[in-house]
Amino acid sequence: MKLVIGNKNYSSWSMRPWLLLRHAGIAFDEVKLSFNSPTFKRDALAFGPTGKVPVLVDDGVTVWDTLAIAEYVAEKFPDKQLWPRDAKQRAEARAICAEMHAGFPALRTHLSMNVTANLAGLGWNVAVQDDIDRISAIWTGLRARHRADGPFLFGRFCIADAYYAPVVTRFNTYKPKLAPALDEYMHTMLDLPEMKEWLAAAVQENDFVAHDEPYRRAPN
Ligand SMILES: N[C@@H](CCC(=O)N[C@@H](CS)C(=O)NCC(=O)O)C(=O)O
């Protein structure tokens, strides 16, 4: 199984399936393409029809959309229980993934992923706050209901956590004011060994766009 991704510093869509596969212990070969390369589009088109990442290539199948990748992997590895086992919870998990997939345009535009930068206080506007408030409501409600089952949105780690992982890193980069109740979930996600692996690799890749440089955080 091959997962084609973009820069670990910038590619929120790539982070989701990468984290999902790693956390589940599913082996894959990583192929990383640089957004800063003049051949990015051509390189990406060699793997999938949209010229975007991520793309999963497995056993003669090409899957080029994050939600489709998550579903494909969940079907291929049912024992990994990548969606919640309970049908009602599964429906809700799918709904919040779809909401992330299609929504939160202000957050995505103004707090774009940049995991190694410190952009505290930047990017905020009223529309961004509306997105933050909606995400806060999702996380707070799920954590309150599933606290007894574990530290993730539905208790156990599932596709929904992978889906919201780049929001966790965005909040860590832009540091908007969040309800204290969300700190615990932020820490749970940032402390995941796979998340740490991704963040460390983002520092190492040293492939930043020039206007980002003044904001680079010192490596931990
Ligand atoms: N709907 C796609 C979105 C993929 C996407 O927009 N990927 C971005 C990187 S995060 C990309 O490849 N951008 C490069 C480009 O548009 O040229 C998915 O869910 O995977």
Q: 114 C-alpha to center of ligand 1: Å? A: 15
Q: Comparing C-alpha atoms, which of 19, 1, 7, 34 is closest to residue 163?
A: 19
- The domain segmentation of the chain, as residue ranges, is 2-80, 87-196
**Is residue 54 within 6 Å of ligand 1 at its C-beta?**
yes
- Provide the CATH topology of domain 2-80: Glutaredoxin (3.40.30)
pTM of the full predicted structure?
A: 0.96
% of the chain beyond a pLDDT of 70: 96
| Residue 9 confidence class, pLDDT cut points 50, 70, 90 | very high
Phi-psi group of 150: left, alpha or beta (phi > 0 → left; psi -120 to 50 → alpha; rest → beta): left
Please give the Cα distance from 134 to 196 (Å, whole number).
Answer: 26
Please give the Cα distance from 173 to 155 (Å, whole number).
Answer: 25
DSSP labels, 104-171? -HHHHHHS---TTB--TTTT--HHHHHHHHHHHHHHHHHHHHHGGG-SBTBBB--HHHHHHHHHHHHH
| Residue 181 confidence class, pLDDT cut points 50, 70, 90 | confident
% of the chain beyond a pLDDT of 90: 91
Chain center to CA of 53: 13
3-state helix, strand, coil in the chain (%, to 5): 55, 10, 35
Tell me which residue has its CA closest to atom 17 in ligand 1: 52
**Is residue 18 within 6 Å of ligand 1 at its C-beta?**
no
Q: 149 C-alpha to center of ligand 1: Å? A: 33
Amino acid 218: pLDDT: 58
Q: 43 C-alpha to center of ligand 1: Å? A: 14
* CATH number for the domain formed by residue range(s) 87-196: 1.20.1050.10
**Is residue 56 within 6 Å of ligand 1 at its C-beta?**
no
pLDDT in tens, 28-71: 999 999 999 999 999 999 999 999 999 999 999 999 999 999 99
pLDDT in tens, 96-149: 999 999 999 999 999 999 999 999 999 999 999 999 999 999 999 999 999 999
**Is residue 53 within 6 Å of ligand 1 at its C-beta?**
yes
